Chain A
Amino acid sequence: MKDQQTKDKLASVLSRVLEQVAFVFSEPAGELAKIDPAAEPYIEISLKYSGASTGHLSLILPLSLSRQFSSGMLGIEPDPNDEADSQADAAKEIGNIVTGQLLTELFGTKAIFNVAAPEVHELLPEQFFALLEGREYVCNMVENQPVIAMLTQTEVEHERQGSYR
């Protein structure tokens, strides 16, 4: 994710999907200094894609926020006693939708992609900032909790379409 247009599109898609799917409003965050990854468990949702371009999209967020997304999607109170994998399910689906929407915005509807099933990793506090160090990312805040998104493109096979270059 090397250019500003890609970052802007990712931030816009992330914000839109959170609003449409989980019914939460998010605001862009400038810096992450105030985030304490030791305060609660964080997860990384990773989705690999291949086709007109190859790469992966990652979402990093507190597990409790995924529970909140689930609550917004289902209209019921979250159950903190659910297993971690169940709690992460809503974030996996949001990652899936963000990836699909972003790839269309970047490459147009003529490009074909295969997106692998989302993988979930629990992050240790020391892994949180290590994962972000030297990387380009966007961060949206939902009720003072961060949702961080990163796009890593390893290969582009075709010219992009539309206004994005």
Chain B
Amino acid sequence: MAYNILIVDDSRTMRSVLTKTLGMTGLDLGEVYVAENGLDALGKLKEHWIDLVMTDLNMPEMTGLELIEKMAQDGMLKATPVIVISTDGSAERLQALLEKGIREFIRKPFTPEAITEAITRVLGVTNERSANKG
């Protein structure tokens, strides 16, 4: 099964880095969509089937936290898993995000391995590269 993933980050560079990193994970990827902020992401979520959202927090127009809250209020979107990727180092904020239902938190700067591990945990899949090693 190929997974469609939505990357939400206001930095064009970071969107490109994450897209490239996803390509290195060995996961069975379908489409990788990108959005510049939470509002843009909500539009993409309504247009396409998305299996996983990877979002930054600090963005103009609509923050990652607001996006997570909007998704939680939407009957269709509330089951879509969310991974937060942010520079924020506050343990209290992380706890608040977990209480809002996010599945993983990755702090920037991240390694490709951290991205792979988080996605495989959230989607419950084994990436092709790991499977081939066995």
Contact = CB atoms under 8 A, between A and B. Distances in A.
5 contacts: A70-B13, A74-B16, A110-B90, A110-B92, A115-B87
B125 to A, nearest CB: 26
Interface residues of A, number: 28
A24 interface: no
Interface in B86-134: 86-93, 107-109
A20 B86 CA distance: 15
Interface residues of B, number: 22
B17 interface: yes
Contacts of A70: 13
A88 to B, nearest CB: 10
Per DSSP, chain A at the interface is: helix
Given A115-B58, A117-B58, A93 B11 contact: yes
B60 interface: yes
B59 interface: yes
A111 B92 CA distance: 8
Interface of A: 17, 20-21, 70, 73-75, 86, 89-90, 92-93, 96-97, 99-101, 103-104, 109-117
A70 B14 CA distance: 9
Contacts of A75: 20
Contact of A21 (B16, B90, B109): B109
Interface of B: 10-14, 16-17, 20, 58-60, 86-93, 107-109
A99 B108 CA distance: 11
Contact of A117 (B59, B87, B107): B59
A114 B11 CA distance: 17
Nearest to B59: A117
B11 A89 contact: yes
Given A115-B58, A117-B60, A97 B87 contact: yes
A70 B13 CA distance: 7
Contact of A90 (B13, B87, B90, B109): B13
Given A112-B90, A113-B90, A100 B108 contact: yes
A96 B85 CA distance: 13
A20 B109 contact: yes
**When A and B form their complex, which 8 residue pairs have the shortest distance between CB atoms, in order from nearest?**
A100-B87, A104-B89, A109-B91, A93-B11, A20-B109, A90-B13, A112-B90, A89-B13
